[in-house]
Chains A and B, each alone.
Chain A
Amino acid sequence: MTQGSVVIQLHAHLPFVRHPEHERFLEEDWLYEAITETYIPLVSRFERLADEEIPFRVSFTLTPPLVQMLRDELLQRRYGAHLDRLCELAEKELHRTRNEPRLHDTARFYHHHLNHTRWLWHERYRRDLVGAFRRLQDRGVVEIVTCGATHGFLPLMQTQPEAVRAQVRVAAAHYRLHFGRDPVGIWLPECGYYPGVEKFLSEEGIRYFFVDTHGILDATPRPRYGVFAPLYTPAGVAAFGRDPESSEQVWSAGTGYPGDPVYREFYRDIGYDLDYDYVRPYIQATGERKNTGFKYHRITGKGLDKDLYDWRAASRQADRHAGNFMFNREKQIEHLAMVMGDRRPVVVAPYDAELFGHWWFEGPVFLEMLIRKAAHDQKVFRLVAPSDYLRDNPTQQVATPPLCSWGAGGYAGVWLDGSNDWIYRHLHKCADLMIRLAADYQEPTDLERRVLNQAARELLLAQSSDWAFIMKTGTMVEYAVQRTKDHVLRFLRLEEQIRSGAIDEAWLSRVEGRDNLFPELDYRVYRP
C-alpha cells in the first residue's frame, strides 16, 4: 500500500496554424518541431514502457487544435517533407563533422534519432499520432484530457456564457469523435478558471480540471489539505491544484533540472552558426535563418563560451535527475501522509508537454527514467491519473476556487493588458453576433448552414488565447495580430453576407478549405 499519489500532467497544445496557400510557412514549423522533438519521443517511450508492462499512468492534454492538425493530411504530408529535409541535413552533417570526433559523435546521434523518427512516423504510426495516443489510452497507461475548443481564455468570456459553453461543448464533441469516449477531465485553457465555469463542464460529463496553486489555497471556504487534495466545486466537478515544489524542480531557471550545464544548449543551432550557403536549403523559404534542431553545444554556464554537447553524459544526468525527483516526491509524500492522517495526499505536477524534448532536450529521457524508477525503486507513491485518485477517494471538501490562471501574476494579466486588450472589443462583438445568428436561424438552408458553421469556426479561432499571449510576449506579434484580424474580418463578412442574403459561395468554399477545423461543428451550440 502506497502512502500517496503523484499525477504527472502534460499539456500539449499548439494554436491552429495551417496555411495551404503557402507551400512552406514558418509558423507551421511549430507543429513539425514539436512532433519531432516531443510528441514522437514521448509516445514511443510510453509505448515501450507499456510493452514492458511497467505500471504507470500519465495524464496528457491533447487540445482540439493540436488533434486537428495532427490529423490533417496536408500537414502530415508537409511534416513528412520536413522530416526528409532534416534527415538529409543529418547526412550532410556526418560528412561535415567527419574529422572532428566529438562533433561527429553528436552528428551520428542526430542521424540515428531522425532516421528512427522517420521510421516511426511513416511505418509504425502511419502518420497518425492521435491514433497512437488513443491506443495508449485504451491500454490504460495514458489518460487524455481535453481543453477548450481553441484554447480560449474563459475568464474573459464570462460575460457571454454561450461563448464559454461553445468552447467546452465543441471540445467535448471533438474528443468523442477522435477518442471514442467521453472526456473525464479538462485542462482549462491557461488554467483559466472563474467561479461558475464548472457548470458547463458538468453538462459535458467532465469530472475534473486543474488550477494553479492559489486556485486551491485561496478557495472559499479555506481548504483543509492545501494543494494535496482536490476540491469539489459546488457543481461536483473536482479541481486539482498544482504543487509548486515539484513544478519548481522542473520549471525554475535557477534551480530547475533543465538548466544543468550538461544538458543541450537550446540557443546554439547550426541554422545560425554555419555558413549560409550550407544551411540555405534548411532555413526559411524567405532565406532568413532559423533553428534547424542541430545543436552541438551544452549549456556549460552563464557565459557565451559553450562546451561541446555529450549526449551520453546528458542522458546519465537525466537519469540522475529522475532519481532526485523521485526521492523528493517520496520524502514529500511521507511528510504529507503523516500530517494528513487517514487521507492520502496527491501531488499534481503539470507541465507543458513541449518542455520535454523541445526546450529540455533530455526531458523525455527524464520522464522515462522517472516512470521506471517509480515502478521499481520505491513504494511510497503511485503514478496515477486524476480519475484514479477520485475513484479511490470519492469524498472531498467542497469549496469554490477564485478566478485564477497559471499566467504571470496568476490571473488574467497576461491576456489582458495594453498590448492586447484591443481584441476584446471585437471578440465580444463577434460572440454577440454569433449568439444572435444562432437564435435567428432556426431552419437555415444548406448554404446558410455552411455560412453559420463557418462563422462559428472563425469566432472560435479568433478566441484562441495564443494570439493575446503572443502579443503580450512580443515575439511573432505581427502574425498573431494578423490571425486575429483575419478571423474577425471573416466572421464579420460571413455575418454580413448571411444577413443580406448575398452569400459568396466561392469565397465561402475557400474559407472552409483553409480554416477547416471542426468539420462536425454545429452552429446551434451558440443557442442559449
Chain B
Amino acid sequence: MRLSVFFLFFFVAQAYSTVTYSQQKLLTLKMQGAKVIDVLNKIESESEFFFLFNQKLLDVDRQVNIVVKDENIGNILSEIFDNTNVTYLIKDRQIILTTATSIVGSDQGQQQSVKGKVTDQSGASLPGVSVVVKGTTTGVTTDNNGNFSMRLPAEAKILVFSFVGMKMQEVTISGRISLSIVLEDEPIGLDEVIAIGYGTVKKSDLTGSVTALNADAISLGLSQSPDMALKGKSSGVQITTVSGQPGAGAVVRIRGSSSILGSNEPLYVVDGVPLDGGGAAAGIHGASVSPLTIISPSDIESMEVLKDASSTAIYGSRGANGVILITTKRGKEGTYNANFNMSMGFQNVSHRLELTSPEQWAELWNESMDYKNGGVGKYDLKNLPARTNWQDEIFRTSPVQDYGLSFNGGNEKLHYMLSGGYTSQDGIIMNTDFKRYSIRVNLENKFTNWLTVGVNLSSNRTDSNQAGDAEGSVSADNPVGLIITASPVVPIYNQDGSYVQYVDVESKRENPFASLKEIVNNDTRNRLISNLYAEISIFKELKLRTNFATDIADTKAKYYAPSYIAQGRAANGFASIGSNNKLYWNSTNTLTYSNTFNKIHRLTVMVGVEWQKDVVEGLIANGTGFANDNAKFDNLGEASNYNTSSVYAAWQMQSYMTRINYSLMNRYSFTFTGRQDGSSRFAEGNKNAFFPSGAFAWRLKEEDFLKDVSLLSNLKLRASYGTSGEQGIPLYQTFSTLSASKVLVGTTLNTGYLPTRAADPSLSWEKTTQADVGIDIGLLRNRLNATIDFYYKRTNDLLYQKALPASSGFTSMLGNIGSIDNKGIEIMLDAIIINNKNFKWDIKINNSFNRNQLINLGDGRKEIINPSGGVSGGDLKATPSILRVGEPLGLLYGYQSDGVIYDQTESDVAKKMGQIQYAPGELKIRDVNGDNKITDADKTIIGNSNPNFTGGMSNTFTYKGFELNILCQWVAGNDIMSYQHMVNQRLSLGYNAMKDWYETRWQVNNPSRVEPRAGYDIRAYPDVSYNVFDGSFFRINNVSLSYTIPKHVISRIKLRNLKFSAGIDNLYTFTKYPGWSPDVSSMGGNVMGQGIDVASYPVPRTITFGINLGF
C-alpha cells in the first residue's frame, strides 16, 4: 500500500509540472574527466530529461570536464558539446542529439528533416505517438497537438508510427518533408492472425467455428485464472463456478456435455503445449485449486476457443470437448514496453442467507419435539444455552491484491517478454487463501535468415489454504455447509474454553468454526513449463518447426487436524502429507508448406508428428497419535501409527497429423484435417484411431455481385464436418489388476490381493462427429459484426460402465456403449453503437442454445436409475440421478411433491397411499403412476439442469480518458436441486433453518399448504420436487471504471501509459433462487451432478482499485 501512495504522489507531482521545464530545471554537476555518456546519464538521473541519439554516430566515450552550479540545460549542453560536431534540440524533456559528421558523411549531404501530424480516424490529433526510424532507435513522440518533427539519419527510408490501441503503420518517406498520418483503430480485423493449433491462419481464411478473445477482452472483469476470464464472453461456452474458494476452478462446457464418464472439460493448450492435469496431491480435503490458476490472465495475449470439428480435429483424440488455445504475450520488433499493474481490494460474501434467530430456531425445535418426541427435549425459550451467529463468526472481509511487472520488446532479431507477478487473495471464510508467484519468459531469436529459435518458460508457485468443501456428497456435512446448518443455540466454545466438538444432535458433524480455524488443509504447487522450439526455413515456402516441451509439476498436500478438535481427537492428531510429481513431455515436429500460385491459389499444407508421455508418481503418508500438536505433517516420524502408499501412472500418445488449407481467389477456402492418434490407454489392436475433418468457407462479400454493396463489409459462410475423440478414461482399464488392501488378521496388519476389476480388452475411444454451419456478417465498415453458428454433435462409443449382474462377481465393466447428441445455435454480436470523437459505446453480446439428448445406452436399456457415477446422498439416501434415453444428461429424478398434507383428512389419504410419513404438515407426494400407492415407481423427472439458453454481454463506454465496462451474464430455464434448502429443514439433526421457512411453515394452529412443518421427515423423500428451484439468473458480473491519463500529460514524464481503475466483481445477481448462488456446480465436472447445490463456498463480491502504468 505504501508503494501505491508513493506512486500516486509521484505522478500527481509530475502531472502538474510546467511546460517550461527546460528553462526552469536547474542542474548542478561536478564531473572531471567523465565520459560524455556518463554525463548524459547523470543528467537523466537527476532530471526528467531524456536523450535520443544514435550511439554509432555520437562519440560518447569522449572525456569532458564539467562543473556547473544551478545551470539550465541549454548552457550545460553547449558546454559539453562546444567545439564538436554535435548539435542538440531540446523539446520539453526530450533532447535530440545529432552530429554534423553524420550529416556531412551521408549521401551527398542530403540531410533530411521531416515533420508532420498524426490523427486518428475521426481527425482528432494524437499526442504521444511514437515515431521511429525503422531499424534504429532514433525517434520522437508527437506533441500535444499530434505534431512531430525530427531530423533523419541518412539511411532512413521508413518511419514507423505506433500507438497503443492503434494499428502500427509504416510510412515510406521517399523524400517528403511533411507527412499527414491517420492511425486506424485496431479492432478485431479480418487481417488478424488467429491461432488454430499447430499453426495460424488469417481470420479471413478461417473455415471453422472459433471465438477469438484479445488481451483487452480477457482483462475485463476480475479473474485469477483464464477459465474464469472467459465467463460470459464467448458463445457456446458455459462456465459454472465450482466454489467461491480462492483459486477454485470452474466447470467449462463447450457446446454441452458429450460424455458420461469421460471428461467433458475442453483441452487447454498454452503456447502450443497441452496443459494437462496438475491436480492436487492425495490428501487434500474437498475442493481444490484449478490447474489453470497457474496462468496469470495478465500474461495472456489472446485466447481462442475452438468449437467445431474442423478446428478441434487437429487435436484428434483430445479435442471432442473443444479446445481453448492460450497464447501468452511476446515482444514485438521495434518497441520497448514496460508495464506495471497493481490492484488491491477486498472481498466479502455477496449476500448472507437469512437464517432463524436463536429464539425462532428454538421455537421450531420445540414444535419438532412436540411432533416427534412427545414434547420431550424442548428448549426454554427464555434461557437458551447460547446465541451463535455462525455466519458472522466465520465470514470476513478479506483483502485481495495483485501485482504484475512485465517487459517486452525486441529488435529485428531478438524478441523478448519477461513478466513476474504476485497475487494474493484471502478467502471470505477464515483461514482460506490463495497466493500465486509467477515468472514468465518468452524469448525468440532469429539466428540466421533461415533459423529462428525460441523458448517459452513459465515458472509458478501457488499456495492455497482450503476450507474442506462439499466433496461430491449432498449432505452438506462439511465445514462450509455447516456454517448455515449449525444450530444457533450451540456455542462455539465450552465453558472451559475448549471447542464444542459437535453441532448436531447425532454428534457426527464437527464444529465448523473449529474445523475452519484449526485444520490445516494446504495445497502447494510448483510448476515449470518450458517449451523450446526452432523454426527452420528449408526454402522460402517450406518451414520445419520442432518443439520440445516439458511440464514439471510438483504438488504437495498437507493436512492436519489437531487433537483438541473433533476430527483429531480420537486419533490424537491426524496428519497427512501427500506429494505428486509429474513429468510430461511433448515433442512436436511439423513441416509447413505455404505458397500462392498465380496470385489466386493460396495453399498451406502442414504435416506433423507428435509424441507425448506423462508420468505421475504420487506418495501419501498419514500419521496419528502425536504427543502434542507441534510436529504435524512436518515430522510424521513422531506419529505412533502411520501408513503410506505410492502410485505410478503413465500414459503415452503418438500422433500423426496433417492439415491442408486451400484458398481460391480470396473467396473460397477449404480445410482438410486428419489426425491419427495412438494411445497407450487402450488394448493392443485398439490403440490407434483416425480423426478426419473437412471444412469450407465462402466469402460472399468478395464476389462481384456484393463487392460494391457498401453497407456490407463482410459476409462469409462456413460449413464443417468431422470427428474428434475422447480418451479421458482412467488408466490401466484393459488389465485385470489385483487391488491391494490392508487387513488385520490376528495382531498383524497384512496386505491382501484380490481381483477387483473385470477388464474389457476391446475398450476404445469415444468419438464425436460434428457438423457446423456458420455465417459471419460485417456491416457499416465492420461497426456491426455478427457470427451465427448452427451445430449438431453426435458422440458414439460412449465410455460407460456396462452393467453386469452382480452374481458374476462384478457389478460393472467399463465399455463403449451408447450415444449422446448435442445440437445448438450460437450467436455473437459486436456493435460499436456510438463512435464520436470523444464518446464511444461498444457492445458485445453472445447467446447460446444447446440441446442435449441421450440417444442410446447400449444393451437395449432405456434408462438407468441411480447410475454408477451418479450423485449419492450419503446419509440423506438421496439418489437424484438418472440416465434416460431420449432425455438430456443432467436430469433430476425423484418424487413430485404436491405441497403439504394440510389436515387429518388429507393425512388419512396419504396413510392409505402408504406414504412413509403421513402426518399433517408432512410433504404430500404425488401418485405419479396412479396405482394408489406411493412407492419407488412414483419417482419421475422433477427437473432439468440444462438451461434453455445462456449468454453474456459486455458494454464498454469510452469518454475521453474514461472507460466504463459493464459485464453481464445470464442463464435461463435450468433447474437446481438445492440440498442446502433441504438440510436447512433437518431439525431431526438440530440444523439451523431459513427464516423464510420459519415464517411460512405449517403449524398446528396455522396450517399451510406450501411449506411443511418443523420436524417433518426430510429423509422420507429426500429427492423431492419441493427442493427443486428455477436456477435462471441475470448477473452483473463486473462493473469497472478506469481513467487513462491523457498521452500529452504523461508523455512529459516518460510514461507511455497510466491508468487508474476501480471495479466491483459479482456486483448483483437477479434470481429467484433462494440459495447463496444459482451459478454453482457443487459436484464439479460430474455430468450427473449438474444442477445440484450443496451450499459450497459462496462466491464473493470483490471491490478492487488498480493502477496500470507503462513506460
Chain B associates with chain A: no
Residues of A within 8 A of B (CB): none
